[in-house]
Amino acid sequence: MEKVIVFDTTLRDGEQAPGAALTSEQKLEVAYQLQNLGVDIIEAGFPIASPDDFKAVSLVARDINTSIVCGLARCLKDDIEAAYNSLKKARRSRIHIFLATSKIHLQYKFKKVEDEILAIAKKGTHLARNYCDDIEFSPEDATRSNRDFLFRVIETAIKQGARTINIPDTVGYSYPQEIHSLITDIFNNVSNIQKAVISIHCHDDLGMATANSLSAVLAGARQVHCTVNGIGERAGNASLEEIAMALKTRKDVFGNLYTQIATKEISRASRLVSTSTGFVVPPNKAIVGDNAFRHESGIHQDAILKKRITYEIMNPQDIGIGRSELVLGKHSGRHALNKRLKDLGFKLDEKRINVIFKRFKELADKKKEIFDDDLIVLAEEEIREKKRIYELASVKVVTGTDIIPEATVKIKHKGLLRQAESRGDGPVDACYKAIDKITKIKAKLLNYKLEAITKGKDAQGLVRVEIRAKAKTTIGRGSSTDILEASVKAYLDALNQVR
């Protein structure tokens, strides 16, 4: 068996997706789940980019035990030193340096000639190697670079001590056969290539990121860059779940290649990344979309009942779907709750456990049975809810088929209890208008989505809203067994992120 190394860049390239900014705490939470997933390397950020990025990489480096933690740097002294400093506490660290090699970038971005770029690559790799044994080098825009020049740059980086050479399809321009021939050419033309692992980094601008990554693997690449849910710059990066499941499902094609991804953790990782970033996973997204294992047509349903493999190439349980177990009830104690949250992969301090326990008891009063998915939502809400500028105190709505709905909402704000009433086109609209009277923020509701977290009449509803206010788009979430309460909480959560 031969391993394909999984280099996850959800926290770096993924976070570069417009609107996906994560706090350091959220990044750490995602990093724990990436570790549970079994990713080999976590690229935690670009430390020179901002103090927040530096802090996030430092936190991940301090707390992650099994995965290698990596920081990105340009081939510049300050960048490399920032990466080194942010990674000081890591058990195992890697510095990932990059430098563009395509004519387009040389001419318009750097205004430099090839020999100058070669010298920067040499100096940068050499410097980085003085700080860290594990250096990865990326010739940015490799797929649009002149091949002979690319080979020279790679050879130089390896000579200076780079152990991994990553080939980025930076603008998602390539296609599978082309990637295959590029990787083959690198193997055939770079004299010292056996001293390094070849890696691939694909973007999805033409929808070929996963196909391109797999094509590189077939040509001999043994590391893949990817992100959970495929989030990333522009159209995103190759998605981790697609690559892991393709290698697992198509053993006939990939033979003895494997990743060490614990695929049963995929579903939870997908949810966590979606709730942390606010990026809703499209229902038709491969592997993790809501519809990925749903069968609508009668012919399909009939055949599935006879034999699943007629229309299902993967087992949803292998991805961790449908494993929500009945876990706790009204009489369960703090210890049982804490243990279950740990089993679900949450690392929470006592203060947070106490808040979640209180909410759990409130929920258990309303709902007989508490499932894993209920707990996950409670825990994720607590992790997410840091700045509660506006907090719901109570909501009352008078509504019916032949009256105009009227809402009374009470909100806690800066230690004061404030109240407003409003009518609206529907009960949710009435609540939101009442809230607008209190906050005086002119917010436009762009999106509203309600889903049930678990099954049954007493299921919790999870509401996601997207609003536009003060020239900023924010996403809020709220859950409750009462959908109006969930709707109000989601709206307040979105408003709390508007400054």
Binding site for ligand KIV (CB under 6 A): 13, 98, 138, 140, 168, 170, 201, 203
Minimum gap (Å) between residue 202 Cβ and ligand KIV: 9
Residue 98: name its binding partner from ligand KIV, Zn ion, none (Cβ under 5 to 8 Å by kind): ligand KIV
Residue 140: name its binding partner from ligand KIV, Zn ion, none (Cβ under 5 to 8 Å by kind): ligand KIV
Minimum gap (Å) between residue 380 Cβ and ligand KIV: 28
The answer to whether the beta carbons of residues 329 and 298 sit under 8 Å apart is: no
Instruction: State which residue, 17 or 217, has the beta carbon closest to Zn ion.
Output: 17
The answer to whether the beta carbons of residues 224 and 4 sit under 8 Å apart is: yes
The dihedrals phi and psi of 215, each to the nearest 5 degrees, come to: -65, -40
What the block records as the tokens of 257 is 């290649």
Instruction: State which residue, 19 or 322, has the beta carbon closest to ligand KIV.
Output: 19
Instruction: State which residue, 96 or 477, has the beta carbon closest to Zn ion.
Output: 96
Instruction: State which residue, 173 or 187, has the beta carbon closest to ligand KIV.
Output: 173
The number of residues in the chain equals 499
Instruction: State which residue, 227 or 275, has the beta carbon closest to Zn ion.
Output: 227
Minimum gap (Å) between residue 236 Cβ and Zn ion: 10
> What is the residue type of 266?
I
CA 454 to CA 273: how far, in whole Å? 20
Instruction: State which residue, 100 or 443, has the beta carbon closest to ligand KIV.
Output: 100
Binding residues for Zn ion, rule CB under 5 A, total 1
CA 137 to CA 64: how far, in whole Å? 23
Pairing verdict, β 416-423 and 406-413: antiparallel
Minimum gap (Å) between residue 157 Cβ and ligand KIV: 13
CA 19 to CA 330: how far, in whole Å? 39
What the block records as the tokens of 321 is 């779907």
Interface with Zn ion includes 43 (CB under 5 A)? no
The dihedrals phi and psi of 289, each to the nearest 5 degrees, come to: -70, 155
Instruction: State which residue, 203 or 340, has the beta carbon closest to ligand KIV.
Output: 203
Please give the radius of gyration of the chain, using alpha carbons only, rounded to the nearest integer. Answer: 25
Minimum gap (Å) between residue 168 Cβ and Zn ion: 6
The kind and range of the H/E element at 491 are helix 483-496
The dihedrals phi and psi of 315, each to the nearest 5 degrees, come to: -95, 120
Interface with Zn ion includes 13 (CB under 5 A)? yes
Residue 172: name its binding partner from Zn ion, ligand KIV, none (Cβ under 5 to 8 Å by kind): none
Instruction: State which residue, 80 or 453, has the beta carbon closest to ligand KIV.
Output: 80
Nearest to 462, CA basis, from 489, 431, 436? 489
Partner residues linked to 226 by β-bridges: 8
The kind and range of the H/E element at 189 are helix 176-189
Pairing verdict, β 472-480 and 461-469: antiparallel
**Piece of 9-17, 79-87, 249-257, 334-342 that binds Zn ion (CB under 5 A):** 9-17
Minimum gap (Å) between residue 240 Cβ and ligand KIV: 15
Interface with Zn ion includes 15 (CB under 5 A)? no
Minimum gap (Å) between residue 7 Cβ and ligand KIV: 10
Minimum gap (Å) between residue 74 Cβ and Zn ion: 14
Residue nearest to Zn ion (CB): 13
Residues that bind Zn ion (CB under 5 A): 13
